[in-house]
């Protein structure tokens, strides 16, 4: 399925769901909130789509509840540190949070599969796994021991491979690099000799400028341009083998979520799904314009990773996944289901999409 077609259908589905929820509901009014939550994120203030997507989600919850359910959003560092969101929500300090599931690999290795898997599912595929397969059910199972209820909140699409201050022409060129890269992709590059660090978004530019790191990945052309990474790195590589369709999340304190009336739970689900569609549609559209600007105005060298490098990274990826799943039963359970679904949908895509001629 072409992503364009998928997004069109997903958008219609989200709109229909929202409309169904709102039928018969009172019009938005200046009502006193019955419930007020705090929601913390891992994102810098005003970061387009990521932080503003969370703020949009909160606004939609308030609108659909007629002002009876309000969520106050705090960017990274405003209430808790960026990487403190998971624990703050789990222990009930705040009711809700947002980030990317691979940030919590230290809590659960299995969490990483719900953000992105190297050489894994694209945006259409991972969305299908979450809602059409067992993905969301497994995600809930993984987060349950941490007193959390997860929901997909967005997708930033296929990412870029990253920014580098040396050319990557062979796998040995990764040796000795200090790179900011989270999740399973970071574990893969560690096998190639990279010293991996997990740096919050707000610190990436400064660390790259000062030489604390030699390379970084962030999101894609739009967000990378806004962060100014083209000013402190020479080479911009693709494709985003490590994150072929990155899911962003909302997660809720389980006790607080279960105490909600059924109406408010439904509103949360609809607002999350609507935000997911809005985010992938918007980032895809704006990435195209941003990439052209980086190339034409800023003269950025946009380069493909060579085939032999990609082949070796794929070998390392399998090694990483095999090692994690051999040591972690819940990660193996998630991986087995993910892999089965990838094969299933890949077979269908070959017949239904790849074989179809294009203009």
Residues 115 and 201 placed together within one structural domain of the fold: no
Query: Which domain, by its residues, includes 101?
Result: 3-158+244-286
Tens digit of each residue's pLDDT (9 = 90 or more) over 109-158: 999 999 999 999 999 999 999 999 999 999 999 999 999 999 999 999 99
Q: What is the 3-state secondary structure (H, E, C) of 199-256?
A: CCHHHHHHHHHCCCCCEECCCCHHHHHHHCHHHCCCEEEECCCCCCCCEEEEEEEHHH
| pTM confidence score | 0.86
Tens digit of each residue's pLDDT (9 = 90 or more) over 207-237: 999 999 999 999 999 999 999 999 999 999 9
Residues 177 and 268 placed together within one structural domain of the fold: no
Residues 9 and 92 placed together within one structural domain of the fold: yes
Residues 89 and 118 placed together within one structural domain of the fold: yes
Tens digit of each residue's pLDDT (9 = 90 or more) over 151-178: 999 999 999 999 999 999 999 999 999 9
Task: Kindly report the CATH number assigned to the domain that includes residue 130.
Answer: 3.40.190.170
**Alpha carbons 83 and 197: distance in angstroms, whole number:** 13
- Between 2 and 260, where is the model more confident? 260
Is residue 30 predicted with pLDDT exceeding 80? Answer: no
């Amino acid at each position: 399925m072409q992503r364009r077609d998928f997004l069109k259908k997903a958008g219609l589905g989200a709109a229909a769901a929202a409309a169904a929820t709102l039928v018969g509901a009172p019009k938005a009014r200046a009502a006193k909130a019955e419930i007020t939550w705090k929601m913390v994120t891992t994102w810098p203030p005003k970061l387009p789509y990521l932080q503003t997507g969370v703020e949009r989600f909160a606004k939609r919850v308030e609108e659909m509840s007629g002002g009876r359910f309000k969520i106050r959003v705090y960017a990274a560092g405003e209430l808790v540190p960026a990487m403190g969101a998971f624990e703050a929500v789990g222990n009930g300090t705040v009711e809700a949070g947002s980030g990317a599931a691979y940030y919590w690999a230290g809590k659960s290795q299995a969490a990483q599969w719900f953000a992105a898997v190297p050489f894994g599912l694209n945006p259409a595929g991972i969305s299908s796994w979450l809602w059409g397969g067992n993905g969301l059910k497994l995600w809930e199972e993984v987060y349950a021991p941490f007193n959390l209820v997860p929901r997909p909140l967005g997708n930033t699409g296929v990412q870029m491979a990253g920014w580098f201050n040396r050319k990557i022409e062979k796998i040995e060129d990764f040796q000795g690099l200090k790179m900011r890269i989270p999740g399973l992709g970071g574990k893969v590059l560690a096998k190639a000799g990279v010293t991996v660090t997990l740096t919050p978004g707000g610190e990436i530019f400064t660390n790259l400028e000062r030489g604390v790191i030699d390379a970084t990945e962030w999101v894609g052309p739009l967000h990378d341009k806004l962060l100014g990474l083209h000013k402190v790195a020479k080479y911009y590589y693709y494709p985003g083998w490590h994150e072929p369709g990155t899911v962003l999340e909302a997660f809720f304190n389980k006790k607080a979520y279960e105490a909600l009336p059924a109406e408010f739970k439904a509103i949360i689900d609809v607002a999350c799904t609507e935000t997911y569609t809005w985010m992938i549609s918007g980032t895809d559209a704006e990435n195209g314009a941003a990439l052209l600007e980086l190339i034409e105005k800023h003269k950025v060298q946009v380069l493909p990773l060579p085939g032999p490098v990609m082949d070796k990274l794929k070998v390392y990826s399998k090694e990483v996944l095999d090692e994690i799943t051999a040591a972690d039963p819940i990660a193996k359970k998630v991986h087995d289901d993910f892999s089965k679904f990838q094969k299933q949908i890949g077979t269908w895509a070959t017949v239904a999409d790849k074989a179809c001629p294009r203009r």
